[in-house]
Every structure is written in structure tokens, then in C-alpha cells.
């Protein structure tokens, strides 16, 4: 997507739309956390966000659309319509020629994403157990995560850095498990590790498992 010139400012309509989207996402996030996804209605989100229901449906189509938008913002760190894998930070990482720095960069990225998306990911996982549409979104997110994380093992394979005897598909499975939101939640939320401790463990474990 081409970037606009810095001199071009968004119209009042665009600014209002962006503010409305942000208000709805913030309101839904609070309600989903407090009351659960299933128990929250679009009408409640609309009232809390002070955005008319018709506008909520125009912007998101459904309650699941709001959840997906929250997840996108949490993963990306902002509301820019650019996938994480297409952002300069990832491109710069993949151009890294040092396997250790490459792994460290991906560990930092995983810590940031898991930290931001922990709540919404948990809510989506719970919703997927009872809602077929949520289950479909959950599977899509898992596939996207696997595809994005596979870039790390492909880069290491291109550098000839994977430890002897470790096939690239097996390396991808290891990364998928170790960098998962589930592992983050087990250590940081359940076991109360600090994000700094989790990041150090993740970096060290990835090096041990992938590089030997």
C-alpha cells in the first residue's frame, strides 16, 4: 500500500471514522474482558463507546468483526492496515546475516506481540470453543502465526545455521510451540514471570533448540 505524503492530512470524516473505530474497539475490549465474549452484545458495545449501533455495524459488520479488529491492533501495535510480516522491522530482521541477532530480534518481536495480544487471544480461544465463526477466525490466526514464524527458520536455513540433524519443518514446529501465546501465558501470566525473564528464556531456548 503506497504511503501518503506527510503533507496530506486525513479529512475530518476519516478522522471521525478512525476515532469511532478506536472507541468501539476499546469499549468492546473492556466488556469482553469483564463479561466475556458471548455475554457481550453489540448494543452494549455501542452504548459504552457512544457510537450509534448502525455505525458499529457499518465499521465492523458483526461482534466477531470487532474482536478481529481488536486482535489486529494488538498484534500490529497500531491500527495501520499492514500485516506484521510486511512491516520494515521484520524485513530488516530477515536481512540480518548473524543467526544469533536474527533469533534475538524475533524473540523481541514475540515478547511484544504476545504481551499486547494476551487478553484478546485468550478471549478468541474461549469463543472458538462455542462459536463456529470464532473457531474459523482462530484457525486463521494460527495459520498466519505459523506462516510468519516460519520466516525465522527459513532465514536460518538459508544461512546454513540450523543445528546438524534438525530439518527445517521440525525447526518450524519448535518455534511455533516455544513462541506461542499459550507458552507466554503459562510463564508470564500463570507462573508470574516478568516479561524480561520470559524474553531471556525465549532467546536462550530458541538458540539452544535451533542453533545447538
Any domain includes 75: no
Task: Looking at the structure, tell me whether residues 96 and 201 fall in a common domain.
Answer: yes
Q: How far apart are CA 159 and CA 93, in angstroms?
A: 13
Any domain includes 67: no
Task: Looking at the structure, tell me whether residues 50 and 93 fall in a common domain.
Answer: no
Task: Looking at the structure, tell me whether residues 20 and 115 fall in a common domain.
Answer: no
- The reported pLDDT for the residue numbered 80 is 78
Tell me if 24 sits within 8 A of 47, measured CB to CB. Answer: no
Any domain includes 6: no
Any domain includes 160: yes
Task: Looking at the structure, tell me whether residues 37 and 93 fall in a common domain.
Answer: no
Radius of gyration of the chain (CA): 19
Percent of the chain topping pLDDT 90: 81
Any domain includes 114: yes
- The reported pLDDT for the residue numbered 92 is 86
CATH number at residue 17: 1.10.10.60
Task: Looking at the structure, tell me whether residues 89 and 186 fall in a common domain.
Answer: yes
Any domain includes 132: yes
The 3-state DSSP composition of the chain as helix, strand, coil percent (nearest 5) reads 75, 0, 25
Question: Hunting for cell 470524516 — which residue is that?
Answer: 13
Q: How far apart are CA 147 and CA 190, in angstroms?
A: 27
Task: Looking at the structure, tell me whether residues 57 and 84 fall in a common domain.
Answer: no
Could you give the number of structural domains in the chain?
Answer: 2
Half-sphere CA count of 95, side-chain side, radius 13 A: 6
Task: Looking at the structure, tell me whether residues 29 and 104 fall in a common domain.
Answer: no
- The reported pLDDT for the residue numbered 4 is 45
Tell me if 156 sits within 8 A of 171, measured CB to CB. Answer: yes
As a residue count, the chain comes to 212
Task: Looking at the structure, tell me whether residues 36 and 92 fall in a common domain.
Answer: no
Task: Looking at the structure, tell me whether residues 110 and 160 fall in a common domain.
Answer: yes
Q: How far apart are CA 204 and CA 186, in angstroms?
A: 18
User: Inter-axis angle of helices 99-128 and 195-210, to 10 degrees?
Assistant: 120
Any domain includes 72: no
Task: Looking at the structure, tell me whether residues 88 and 54 fall in a common domain.
Answer: no
Chain segment 92-106, per-residue pLDDT in tens: 888 888 999 999 999
Any domain includes 192: yes
- The reported pLDDT for the residue numbered 85 is 77
Q: Which residues contact 45 (CB under 8 A, 6 or more apart)?
A: 24, 27, 28, 31, 56, 63, 66
- Name the stretches of the chain with pLDDT < 70: 1-11
**Residue 93, domain extent:** 80-210
Tell me if 159 sits within 8 A of 93, measured CB to CB. Answer: no
Amino acid at each position: 500500500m503506497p504511503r501518503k505524503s506527510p503533507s496530506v492530512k486525513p479529512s475530518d470524516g476519516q478522522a471521525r471514522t478512525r476515532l469511532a473505530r478506536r472507541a468501539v474497539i476499546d469499549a468492546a475490549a473492556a466488556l469482553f474482558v469483564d463479561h466475556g465474549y458471548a455475554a457481550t452484545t453489540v448494543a452494549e458495545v455501542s452504548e459504552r463507546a457512544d457510537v450509534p449501533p448502525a455505525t458499529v455495524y457499518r465499521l465492523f459488520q458483526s461482534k466477531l468483526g470487532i474482536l478481529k479488529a481488536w486482535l489486529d491492533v494488538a498484534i500490529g501495535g497500531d491500527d495501520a492496515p499492514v500485516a506484521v510480516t510486511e512491516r520494515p522491522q521484520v524485513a530488516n530482521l530477515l536481512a540480518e546475516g548473524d543467526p544469533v541477532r536474527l533469533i534475538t530480534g524475533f524473540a523481541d518481536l514475540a515478547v511484544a506481540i504476545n504481551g499486547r495480544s494476551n487478553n484478546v487471544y485468550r478471549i478468541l480461544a474461549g469463543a472458538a470453543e462455542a462459536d463456529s465463526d470464532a473457531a474459523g477466525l482462530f484457525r486463521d490466526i494460527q495459520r498466519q502465526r505459523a506462516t510468519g514464524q516460519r520466516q525465522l527458520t527459513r532465514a536460518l536455513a538459508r544461512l546454513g545455521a540450523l543445528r546438524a540433524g534438525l530439518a527445517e519443518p521440525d525447526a518450524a514446529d519448535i518455534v511455533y510451540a516455544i513462541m506461542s501465546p499459550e507458552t507466554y501465558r503459562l510463564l508470564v501470566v500463570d507462573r508470574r514471570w516478568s516479561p524480561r525473564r520470559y524474553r531471556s528464556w525465549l532467546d536462550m531456548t530458541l538458540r539452544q533448540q535451533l542453533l545447538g
